[in-house]
Amino acid sequence: MDEIEEQPTESAGKSRPWWMRLSVWAVVIVVSGIIIHSVFDIPSRTVFGALILGALILRVGFFFLQQFATPPPAPPDPGTLRKVKLLYRCSICGTEVRMTAANDEDPEPPRHCMDDMELVAPIME
């Protein structure tokens, strides 16, 4: 039996330009506004204001749902260094160490004067 290989179409991974999506939204709002205004005899400012506000709320809602549906990126491979900004201080002599890269997000504290150093606070930059 012959197997048919599916060829991906050109538009499979590409999205439309922003101006095209905006113009489609505008056409839908205008047509809907004209229909609602003529059928229900509601002032046009009220109709178009409500439709624009509704479209904005709908778009924001779609954005948040898309963010929830997108899975988080895979964690880096073991042994890969991650960026961290931690400040440690030796409780005996007061030496400070700033850690900028570690194997994991919560690394073991470095040792100084034969004792573990204390985490002061993450550096906010």
What are the tens digits of pLDDT across the range 25-73?
999 999 999 999 999 989 999 999 999 999 999 999 999 998 888 888 7
State pTM to two decimals: 0.47
**Residue 98, domain extent:** 82-122
End-to-end Cα distance, the chain: 63
More confident residue, 34 or 7: 34
- Residue 7 is assigned to a structural domain of this protein: no
For 6-26, what is the mean pLDDT?
Answer: 74
Q: How far is CA 42 from the centre of its chain?
A: 39
Q: Which amino acid is at 108?
A: E
Same domain, 62 and 87: no
Same domain, 62 and 86: no
- How far apart, in whole angstroms, are the C-alpha atoms of residue 122 and residue 85? 6
* C-beta separation of 99 from 107 below 8 A: yes
Judge whether residue 10 has pLDDT over 70. no
- Residue 8 is assigned to a structural domain of this protein: no
The mean pLDDT value of the chain amounts to 83
pLDDT band at 75; cut points 50, 70, 90: confident
> CA separation (Å) from 95 to 38, 72, 114, 122, 124?
77, 38, 13, 16, 20
- How far apart, in whole angstroms, are the C-alpha atoms of residue 111 and residue 91? 11
DSSP, collapsed to helix, strand or coil, labels residue 82 as strand
Token couple for 51: 């439709």
Same domain, 88 and 110: yes
pLDDT score of 12: 52
Number of domains within the chain: 2
Q: What are phi and psi of 28, to 5 degrees?
A: -60, -45
